[in-house]
Amino acid sequence: MITLHHLEKSQSIRILWLLEELGEPYEVKLYDRDPQTRLAPAAYKAVSPLGTAPVITDGAVTLAETNAIVDYILDRHDDGRLRPKPGAPNRAKYLFWFHTSQGSLQPLLTNKFVMMALTARAPFLMRPVAKAMVDGLDKAFYGPRLAALFREIEKALAESKWFAGDTLTAADMVMGYSMELCAHRGGMTEAAYPNAFRFLKQMREYPSYIRAMEKDGKGTILL
């Protein structure tokens, strides 16, 4: 049986959502972040080969990396419902959003937030210099790249209810966590991106997502 090692307030919520949506038996072990560093605790790092969340174990298999885990789990449920099959009309959209989340959007968000946190923790006299560097990076790199992604997200969600069409797929599950971050701290506003916010509302009201959030019990966002 699959065990999800679930780190609070982390990308692992996507796997919890997927497992709840599939409705087959699984185990979940809950881990709190280290109260000082806010990173994964030593017990978590002992399980995860990269020290990062999410990670699952399944018999002799230990697997990290969100999208690898999603594909591993969906290989057992290959009916095309949550992962459109090759040749399906929405396959290209599915692939684009499934990989955009972890290939572009999430790394940009993580890097931007880490840089912001480092600035806030810099020694007092260094802080203006650190802030100027981060602001420069934001203007030249994070800002334009995130804006391009936000525009594309809004366009996609104006065309269809979910990212790959009118029914939920795993692309929505991986994009969902990143979208929460965009809305909370990434500069995405409801006035400018109404369809993105409509997506977030429908995700938060989706029964399997509600069940996942109840099991998590902590809320997704690390503030």
Ligand X SMILES: N[C@@H](CCC(=O)N[C@@H](CS)C(=O)NCC(=O)O)C(=O)O
Query: Which tokens belong to 74?
Result: 């969906």
| Beta carbon nearer to ligand X, 65 or 71 | 65
| Beta carbon nearer to ligand X, 114 or 210 | 114
Q: What span, in angstroms and rounded, lies between the C-alpha atoms of 122 and 132?
A: 12
Angle at 51 between CA 32 and CA 83, to 5 degrees: 90
Q: How far is CA 115 from the centre of its chain?
A: 19
| Beta carbon nearer to ligand X, 51 or 165 | 51
- Least distance from ligand X to the Cβ atom of residue 53, Å: 4
| Beta carbon nearer to ligand X, 43 or 126 | 43
Q: What is the DSSP letter of 124?
A: G
> Which spans of this chain sit near ligand X (rule: CB under 6 A)?
10-11, 39-40, 51-54, 64-66, 102
Q: What span, in angstroms and rounded, lies between the C-alpha atoms of 57 and 162?
A: 30
- Least distance from ligand X to the Cβ atom of residue 185, Å: 13
Helix axes 13-22, 66-74, angle to 10 degrees: 10
- Least distance from ligand X to the Cβ atom of residue 33, Å: 7
- Least distance from ligand X to the Cβ atom of residue 169, Å: 17
